[in-house]
């Protein structure tokens, strides 16, 4: 337990601007990567109005030809271009996006479109391009402290907010209909400040629904029906992330409810814990995908690592099935290195029509995207990096 809290504390201390909360534990293991991100503060008032008229942001899955690969909209290999790609224009039509990534030693983010073309998004090392919507049409941007949505298919931008604080968090529904904007982890646990949650309907262009969350409450995800799942983590910086007994469920037109987790506790094996740290829970239609965690002794260090997956019904809270993933492999760090053990493990990343995307960290330091079958748990390599210069892979639907 203390090791998990130390990992989360380590992330908060080392991150600089954007809080990649769904990667909190793996960011602590890879501190060099964590510097580009930081805990996040709440958003200012969201405005999706242009000239007093709501602008629909309807999604579509039609577009350019697909890049070859097990996941149709993902490339089999991500390779660094020999030269910087052309800069993405504010009104440019490029087709649907596939993923965002960075190249070590280069300051900017690169957008890889589904048709294989690549574009530079200048950010001088401070991420401007935050994420792609699950359907690949919309690019979420933070430009000069204004939150924008760029239409990659038809061109043009929509302004979501005229003023954005330094720290934000966002969640997409897996069908691309809803976008939730909310405080990030470090700001959530702060007793003071703005704790406003905002829900945007991308298919209808509005309305925007908002709710002030109690301090210590964090948004885990949003379903296709608009239900928003939250967890109360407390206001102490080192509050435990395990032992949570229930989730909160909010909806713009229905009364709030509670999702008990007691029935899940009954299926946990000896030594397992259910961890609801942001990023360890994905909302996928009428189900939530949750990770079990185990503690292992590695030399004189006790390491806490993600293990299996539980598929949970979001109506009843019952665990419908367990998906057994390969056991994490932990190896003590070499002498003279930080005490954190080296791991071969998988992290939840994104739900997609084809399955669940995982980030696989190998003992040799390589990182791949894998596709997990929702029913069988079968793992298939989806995307690999051509070399270790490729960093910060953010496929469609990525959230912070």
Is the confidence at residue 325, as pLDDT, over 80?
yes
Q: Could you give the CA distance from residue 342 to residue 242 in angstroms, rounded to a whole number?
A: 23
pTM: 0.78
Is the confidence at residue 345, as pLDDT, over 50?
yes
Domain hosting residue 358, numbered range: 2-58+80-395
What pLDDT is stored for residue 217 in this prediction?
85
What pLDDT is stored for residue 161 in this prediction?
67
Task: Give strand pairing partners of 311.
Answer: 289, 321
What pLDDT is stored for residue 186 in this prediction?
60
In a domain, 64, yes or no: no
In a domain, 14, yes or no: yes
Is the confidence at residue 58, as pLDDT, over 80?
no
Comparing 28-37, 166-175, 323-332, which segment has the lowest mean pLDDT? Answer: 28-37
| Residue that is written with structure tokens 């954005």 in the block | 164
What pLDDT is stored for residue 287 in this prediction?
92
What pLDDT is stored for residue 29 in this prediction?
35
Most confident of 10-14, 39-43, 161-165, 294-298: 294-298
pLDDT tens per residue, range 374-395: 999 999 999 999 988 998 899 9
Confidence of residue 274 (pLDDT cuts 50, 70, 90): confident
Among residues 19, 36, 80, 65, which one has the least CA distance to residue 386?
80
Q: What is the pLDDT of the chain when averaged over all its residues?
A: 76
Confidence of residue 234 (pLDDT cuts 50, 70, 90): confident
What pLDDT is stored for residue 158 in this prediction?
84
Comparing 217-226, 334-343, 370-379, which segment has the lowest mean pLDDT? Answer: 334-343
Residue 174: C-alpha distances to residues 6, 280, 285, 325, 351 (Å): 31, 16, 7, 22, 6
In a domain, 197, yes or no: yes
Average pLDDT over residues 34-55: 31
Sequence-ordered list of residues with C-beta below 8 angstroms from that of 281, at least 6 positions apart, any chain: 220, 221, 229, 231, 288, 289, 290, 291, 348
Among residues 180, 113, 108, which one has the least CA distance to residue 153?
113
In a domain, 351, yes or no: yes
Tokens of 244: 């949570």
More confident residue, 70 or 163: 70
**With helix as H, strand as E and coil as C, how does the chain read?**
CHHHHHHHHHHHHHCCCCCCHHHHHHHHHCHHHHCCCCCCCCCCCCCCEECCEECCCCCCCCCCCCCCCCCCCCCCEECCCCCCCCECCCCCCCCCEEEEEEECCCCCEEEEECCCCEEEECCCCCCCEEEECCCCCEEEEEECCEEEEEECCCCCEEEEECCCCCCCEEEECCCCCEEEEECCHHHHCCCCCCCEEEEEECCCCCCCEEEECCCCEEEEEECCCCCEEEEECCCCCCCCCECCCEEEEEECCEEEEEEECHHHHCCCCCCEEEECCCCCEEEECCEEEEEEEEEEEECCEEEEEEEEEEEEECCCCCEEEEECCCCCEEECCCCCCCCCCEEEEEEEEEEECCEEEEEEECCCCCEEEEEECCCCCCEEEEEEECCCCEEEEEECCCCC
In a domain, 195, yes or no: yes
Confidence of residue 76 (pLDDT cuts 50, 70, 90): very high
Among residues 283, 356, 270, which one has the least CA distance to residue 313?
283
What pLDDT is stored for residue 330 in this prediction?
74
Confidence of residue 288 (pLDDT cuts 50, 70, 90): very high
Is the confidence at residue 202, as pLDDT, over 80?
yes
In a domain, 172, yes or no: yes
Most confident of 54-63, 123-132, 147-156: 147-156
Total number of domains in the chain: 1
In a domain, 236, yes or no: yes
| Residue that is written with structure tokens 């298939």 in the block | 380
Is the confidence at residue 40, as pLDDT, over 80?
no
In a domain, 217, yes or no: yes
Evaluate whether 69 touches 358 at the Cβ level (below 8 Å): no
pLDDT tens per residue, range 110-142: 999 999 999 999 986 677 888 999 999 999 988
Confidence of residue 249 (pLDDT cuts 50, 70, 90): very high
Is the confidence at residue 43, as pLDDT, over 70?
no
What pLDDT is stored for residue 21 in this prediction?
32
Query: Is the link from the previous residue into 207 a cis peptide, with omega within 30 of 0?
Result: yes
Average pLDDT over residues 336-348: 68
CATH assignment at residue 357: 2.130.10
Among residues 75, 79, 73, which one has the least CA distance to residue 355?
73
């Amino acid at each position: 337990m203390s090791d998990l809290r130390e990992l989360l504390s380590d992330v908060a201390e080392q991150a600089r601007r954007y809080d990649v909360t769904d990667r909190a534990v793996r960011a602590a293991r890879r501190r060099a990567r964590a510097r580009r991100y930081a805990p996040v503060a709440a958003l200012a008032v969201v405005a999706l109005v242009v000239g007093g008229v709501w602008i629909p942001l309807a999604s579509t899955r039609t577009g350019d030809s697909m890049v070859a690969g097990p996941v149709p909209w993902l490339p089999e290999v991500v390779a660094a271009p020999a030269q910087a790609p052309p800069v993405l224009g504010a009104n440019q039509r490029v087709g649907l996006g596939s993923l965002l990534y960075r190249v070590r030693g280069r300051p900017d983010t690169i957008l890889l479109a589904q048709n294989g073309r690549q574009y530079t998004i200048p950010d001088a090392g401070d991420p401007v391009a935050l994420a792609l919507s699950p359907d690949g049409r919309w690019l979420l941007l933070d430009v000069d402290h204004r939150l924008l949505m760029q239409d990659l298919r038809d061109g043009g931008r929509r302004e979501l907010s005229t003023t954005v604080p330094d720290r934000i968090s966002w969640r997409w529904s897996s069908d691309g209909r809803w976008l939730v904007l909310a405080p990030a982890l470090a700001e959530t646990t702060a007793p003071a400040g703005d704790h406003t949650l905002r829900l945007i309907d991308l298919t209808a262009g509005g309305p925007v629904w908002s709710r002030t969350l109690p301090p210590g409450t964090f948004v885990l995800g949003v379903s296709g029906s608009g239900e928003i799942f939250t967890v109360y983590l407390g206001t102490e910086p080192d509050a435990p992330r395990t032992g949570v007994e229930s989730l909160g469920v909010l909806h713009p037109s229905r009364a709030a409810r509670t999702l008990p987790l007691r029935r899940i506790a009954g299926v946990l094996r000896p030594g397992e814990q259910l961890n609801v740290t942001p990023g360890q829970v994905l909302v996928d239609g009428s189900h939530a995908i949750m990770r079990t965690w185990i503690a292992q002794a590695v030399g004189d260090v006790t390491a806490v690592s993600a293990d299996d997956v539980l598929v949970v019904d979001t109506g009843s809270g019952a665990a419908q099935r367990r998906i057994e993933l390969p056991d994490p492999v932990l190896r003590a760090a070499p002498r003279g290195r930080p005490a954190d053990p080296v791991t071969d493990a998988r992290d939840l990343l994104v739900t997609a029509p084809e399955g669940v995307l995982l980030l696989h960290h190998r003992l040799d330091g390589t990182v791949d995207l894998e596709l997990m079958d929702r029913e069988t748990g079968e793992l298939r390599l989806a995307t690999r990096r051509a070399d270790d210069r490729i960093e910060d892979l953010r496929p469609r639907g990525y959230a912070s």
